[in-house]
A and B are shown apart, each in its own frame.
Chain A
Amino acid sequence: MPVTFVLREKKHEVKPGSTLMDSLKKINILPESVIAVKDGEMILQDEILKDGDIIKLVSVISGG
């Protein structure tokens, strides 16, 4: 099963087995612009993502 990222209701899928940082690069999302949450806990760039992980990405940029 793929790893699924959810950012503002938009879904992205990547293969498991890579770190969070490498996976974000594959879907062209800057690690600096999001916080990743898995099972309600914040995770860091070195976390290896596994089969079926669902990662919620919280955008940190606000304007105005």
Chain B
Amino acid sequence: MKCKTCGTKAVVNMPQHKLAMCKEHYLEWIPEQTARFIRKYWMFGPDEKILVAVSGGKDSLSLWDILIRLGYQVDGIYIGLGIDEGIGYSDTSLRLCREFAEKNQQKLIVVDVKGERGQSIPELASNGSRGRMKPCSVCGVVKRHEMNRIAFEHGYAVLATGHNLDDEAATLFGNTLSWSKDLLLRQKPVLPEQNGLARKVKPLCRFYEKEMTAYAMLRGIEYIYEECPFSVGSTSIYYKELLNQLENERPGAKLAFYVKFLSARASGLFKEDDYQPIEEVEGQIGVCSTCGQPTTNSGMCAFCKIVTFDKKDE
């Protein structure tokens, strides 16, 4: 298989695009396409200050690398979850993020959940009022809260995450299976800033997971290969495997599923009166009595309930 650009031996093949590329041209193509998606979805402008959420994984570190190469002002935020499980998962992921930041001379903000809140994510999950839930549920609430807090406290206009197309397609698949209208309405490449929530963007949302792995490997980015111990057997991984079976038989199926969903929604998949942008339900959005961040709960937000072990919702 030959590179479509120069005709030398290809190392990446993307059947969904009928496109194969050599290392050199692939490493140019990914940032070019990222820049195109940033413009297409109006994610952010050249002068805006961006905070990229990094986990030490291939997607988030690749996103940081790409945004640096595209010339954006971009700092990293790492949330230390305190996950060890016998493999030092959080220690390794933090080390890789720190090494990336030092190598690229970038600022990395580290939030240590246990240091700030007294307990790690697994401890919060097992000790708190949400102890019957999986650590992943607690993790999601804590990460969203802390990333939003840091974005506001440090004056970042945008919070960027490394969600790839497989992440988005798996989420879409799950939300479609359950016809979760509210979640389907909110699944977008850009969630605008409003009511104390930072703008959230997903610049990698059009790249397959395999493409991002190839980018990280070819660019020489050292990332954590081990799975988070708590994600083994997760529903999202199961959905990704199912979608990959489909992709194997029908190249382009994952891309079409996601992109056509975005197009269909834009052209009226949901009735206009189904859509309730946050500003129209402003009266339903309150302020957490403890931390001051926006919440749909009365009183404390979900994060504060977790970290203060509020039992009222039991």
Q: Which residues of A line the B interface, CB within 8 A?
A: 30-33, 35, 37, 41-46, 58-64
Contact = CB atoms under 8 A, between A and B. Distances in A.
B-side interface mostly: helix
Given A62-B231, A63-B228, A44 B10 contact: yes
Nearest to B81: A64
Q: Name, among A30, A58, A64, the residue most crowded by chain B CB atoms within 10 Å (CB to CB).
A: A64
B231 A63 contact: yes
Per CB-CB distance, the 8 closest pairs between chain A and chain B, nearest first, are A63-B231, A63-B237, A60-B213, A64-B231, A32-B244, A42-B11, A60-B210, A63-B234
A42 B12 contact: yes
B241 A33 contact: yes
B245 interface: yes
B213 A35 contact: yes
Contacts of B231: 62-64
Interface in B211-257: 212-214, 217-218, 225, 227-228, 230-232, 234, 236-237, 240-241, 244-245, 247-248
21 contacts: A30-B244, A30-B245, A30-B248, A32-B208, A32-B244, A35-B213, A37-B217, A44-B1, A44-B12, A46-B1, A58-B225, A60-B209, A61-B209, A61-B244, A62-B58, A62-B59, A63-B227, A63-B232, A63-B236, A63-B240, A64-B236
Contacts of A58: 213, 217, 225
Interface in B1-40: 1, 10-13, 20
Contact of A42 (B217, B227, B237): B217
B213 to A, nearest CB: 4
B233 to A, nearest CB: 9
* Interface size band for B: 35 or more
A31 B244 CA distance: 9
B17 to A, nearest CB: 14
A32 B240 CA distance: 10
Nearest to B246: A32
A43 B245 CA distance: 21
The listed residue with most B CB atoms (<10 A of its CB), out of A37, A42, A46, is: A42
A63 to B, nearest CB: 4
A43 B20 CA distance: 12
A42 to B, nearest CB: 4
Nearest to B214: A35
Contacts of A37: 217
Contact of B247 (A32, A46, A64): A32
A62 B10 contact: no
Contacts of A63: 227-228, 231-232, 234, 236-237, 240
